[in-house]
Amino acid sequence: MTNPNPKVPCNKGRKMVKMSAISIAQLMKYLMEGIYSCRELAEETGLHYVTVLNYTRHMHRVGVIHICAWEKDCRGKDQIKIYAFGNKPDAKRKTMTRYESSKRSREKRRQLKMLHRLAGMEITA
C-alpha cells in the first residue's frame, strides 16, 4: 500500500490517537501529588507505558521533574527511575563494585549447585 500523498502520514487503517491536553494534565497532577515510576503513572493515567516514558524523558530533560530515587529491577540493579515534580538534582545510582558483583555471582552459583544436589542431579564442572 503506497501513500498517494507523502505529506500526509499513512496510518494503514489504524486509528491515530494523540495525547490530549487532558492526558498531559492528568500526568502532571499525579507527578505533583507524589512520587511515581513510569509504570505506576501508566496505570494511573491509562496511557501506554511507552507514551509515559517519552513524556517523562522530555519533562526531565526540560527540568520539570527530577529523579528522586531508584528502584531495583528483577536482577537487583538500580534501573527503575522514580520521578518527582520539581527541578532538583537527580538521585545518584548505587553501582556495584567488581568485588560485590563477583561475590553475588559466586553466591548464585553456590545456591544453584545446592539446588541441583537436593534435586538429585549431578553436575560436572
pTM above 0.75, yes or no: no
Q: Residue 21: which pLDDT band, with cuts at 50, 70 and 90?
A: confident
Q: Which of the pair, 124 or 45, is modelled with greater confidence? A: 45
Average pLDDT, the chain: 82
Determine, yes or no, domain membership for 53: yes
69 and 47 belong to one structural domain: yes
Give SS3 for 79. Answer: strand
79 and 116 belong to one structural domain: no
Q: Which domain holds residue 118?
A: 95-125
115 and 77 belong to one structural domain: no
90 and 100 belong to one structural domain: no
Which helix or strand (DSSP H or E) is residue 67 part of? strand 65-72
Confidence check: pLDDT of 11 > 90: no
Q: Compute the average pLDDT of residues 64-91.
A: 88
- Looking up cell 556495584 gives 96
Determine, yes or no, domain membership for 12: no
Angstrom distance (rounded) from CA 83 to CA 35: 6
